[in-house]
Amino acid sequence: MITCIVLAAGESTRFPGNKLLFEIKPNISILEFLLRSILASKVDQTIVILGHEADLLASRIQNLRAETLHTVTNPIYHKGGMSSSIRRGVEHALDSHAILITPADIPFIPSEVFDKLIDYYFSHKPLLIIPTYKNRKGHPILISSELFEKVLAISEEKRGLKEIIETYYDDIVFLSTDVAAILQDVDNYEDFIELQSNTNDQI
């Protein structure tokens, strides 16, 4: 089983409101758009980690009505940072062969990228896979269950997943793609406007 952990607990401090609720298309928010792509892929289970405005986000994605989609609240997202959300997700995915991790604000990752990582994992069983576009590292990151114990020990003080990536750097498969969307995150409102202006080219 492959589980995708979607990190959606942040406060969007550089955005005028919760950016995950901003609509890329009419009635389709940033978070919903990404989840539709994941649900259309070979991912077996999707866990959305919520924190800031958890109830609001949870209610917004109810319309997706997917049995494989689950929400989990991270009660310490504010002080524990992204590391605590990742740990929370892994706690609910311990029966998985591997996990995929992606922030919720990279909405245009197509289902084909998730499938490519999953297919490569089952064919070669690497510890880590990171997709790339023109030699730039993107998302999602795939982590084998062999490293779950290490992931459960990460913290912001120890630089989160960066510590694991550096420790196991020689074991990482950098899987080349021709998909620029694996790099395109929405950090601020200007990013959102730029992505929206290119929507017709990407979806």
Res. 201: pLDDT tops 50: no
Q: What is the mean pLDDT of residues 164-186?
A: 95
Q: Which CATH number belongs to the domain containing residue 72 in this structure?
A: 3.90.550.10
Range of the domain at 128: 2-202
Q: What is the mean pLDDT of residues 64-84?
A: 93
Biggest alpha carbon distance in the chain?
44
Tokens read off for 98: 């591997």
Predicted TM-score (pTM) above 0.85: yes
Helix extents (H) in 5-124: 30-39, 54-60, 77-91, 111-124
Q: What is the pLDDT of residues 109-145, one digit of tens each?
A: 999 999 999 999 999 999 999 999 999 999 999 999 9
Nearest to 7 by CA among 87, 91, 82, 97: 82
Show the beta-strand stretches assigned E in the chain.
Answer: 2-8, 23-25, 28-29, 45-50, 69-73, 98-103, 128-133, 136-137, 141-144, 172-177
Number of domains in the chain: 1
Nearest to 167 by CA among 149, 183, 186: 149
